[in-house]
Copies of this chain bind each other. A is one copy, B any other.
Amino acid sequence: MDIEKANQQATTRMIEARAVLTEIAKAKDVIPGMKDNLLLHAGPPITWERTSGPMRGAITGALIFEGKARTEAEAQTLVESGEIELEPCHHHQAVGPMAGVTSASMSVYIVENEVHGNRAFSNLNEGYGKVLRYGAYDDEVQQRLRWMEDVMAPVLNDAVKASGGIDIKALLSEALHMGDEGHNRNKAGSILFLKALAPHIAKVSDDNETSATVLKAIGDNALSVLNPVMAACKVMADTAHGIAGSTIVTTMARNGTDFGIRVSGLGEQWFTAPAQIPKGLYFPGFGDEDANPDIGDSTITETAGIGGFAMAAAPAIVTFVSGSPKDAVNATMEMYEITFAEHKHFTIPQFEFRGTPTGIDLRKVIETGLTPRVNTGIAHKNAGIGQVGAGLVRPPMQIFEEALVTFAEKYGI
């Protein structure tokens, strides 16, 4: 049982994987196992009765979008009856930020890793505030989703194809030298994304007004690249999964109720415990009492060595998630203590181009007593409201403890 060797293999695969955005297509046409009566959601598996407000809001909104429900009560009936099924995005090679609810007819980014031959998916980003992924679902939300689906997605797909594919891993490497950490701060990445797409958007669309509106939607949304970035991190992290004897964490995800992890050497088993409330900065008029527990698959960024792990590259993020630039440096320094490798392609100029801490090692989390640091958005705890802030959070220690016990049992250590 050579854990070191297994972890070496897992992290090398994760670091060497490529991640190229090649296409945008409807979920039901490309996501394995996707079907009309299935909703994908963030985090580990969950039933309706245990879902939080923002997850319920997003499920309701997705069912309204699909024409299957009109109200939260109708959504509840459909889900509780089993007519509509819920499964984690992560069970379908997909990831979604916040509630992460993805329905059959929504378009998704396809990110491919030609090195290991796998692919991953993520839905489109709606922007900030009152949006589906934060649990809002009213007419304004529906109209935006409709426009994204009918107008933006086809233009983006044509533009991505005309571009020959966009190397999201290379884009991330560059963005980390431009003050992004790739999770809560994707300011540079989103305009690098715009830069790559803009000439093609102008060329593929016959209608100037449409081109202008899509260019504005991508350029003005400082999170527009978050979803392709998450799919890129998923495609990289997945290459590290399923290696016998590896203690590397290959999934961290929250459904708004539970925080769950999966471990390379422990197959498809989730280790879960109640998610915590993030600490952070709130939009005017909101406070701690409004916050839902931690939610979303966006922790795939930290799993792949960026996000909270690359905070030192993004000192200006503290204006958004709280803390000081010094804290940002310390966050990254601390994560070197619980990771197995340093990334070859994601580097931090401020640390003399040292690679980001990559590949959370279950053993080191337990040894040091340090859980991973996560940057996150904060959703209102009630359905229908949306984002109320952004902040920092850590997973519960017990899931790492349980995973290590299971690891010891499985491998007879």
Contact = CB atoms under 8 A, between A and B. Distances in A.
A208 interface: yes
Interface string A333-356: 000000000000000011111000
Contacts of A219: 194-196, 198-199
A104 interface: no
A205 B208 contact: yes
A199 B187 contact: no
Interface stretch (A209-217, A247-255, A405-413): A209-217
A229 interface: no
A252 to B, nearest CB: 27
A220 B205 CA distance: 21
A330 interface: no
A77 interface: no
B192 A316 contact: no
A148 interface: no
A225 B322 CA distance: 31
Contacts of A244: none
A178 interface: yes
A315 interface: yes
A195 B205 CA distance: 18
Contacts of A212: 199-200, 202-203
Given A192-B191, A202-B201, A316 B349 contact: yes
Interface string A304-332: 00000000000110100000111000000
Among A178, A194, A203, A216, the most chain B Cβ lie within 10 Å of the Cβ of A178
B199 A215 contact: yes
A279 B215 CA distance: 41
Interface in A136-184: 177-180
Nearest to A203: B212
Contact of A350 (B196, B209, B325): B325
B194 A187 contact: no
Contacts of A353: 325
Contacts of A281: none
A188 interface: yes
Contacts of A191: 188, 191-192, 194-195
Given A188-B188, A325-B349, A203 B194 contact: no
13 contacts: A177-B179, A178-B187, A178-B188, A188-B188, A188-B191, A194-B195, A198-B215, A200-B212, A202-B202, A202-B212, A205-B208, A208-B211, A325-B350
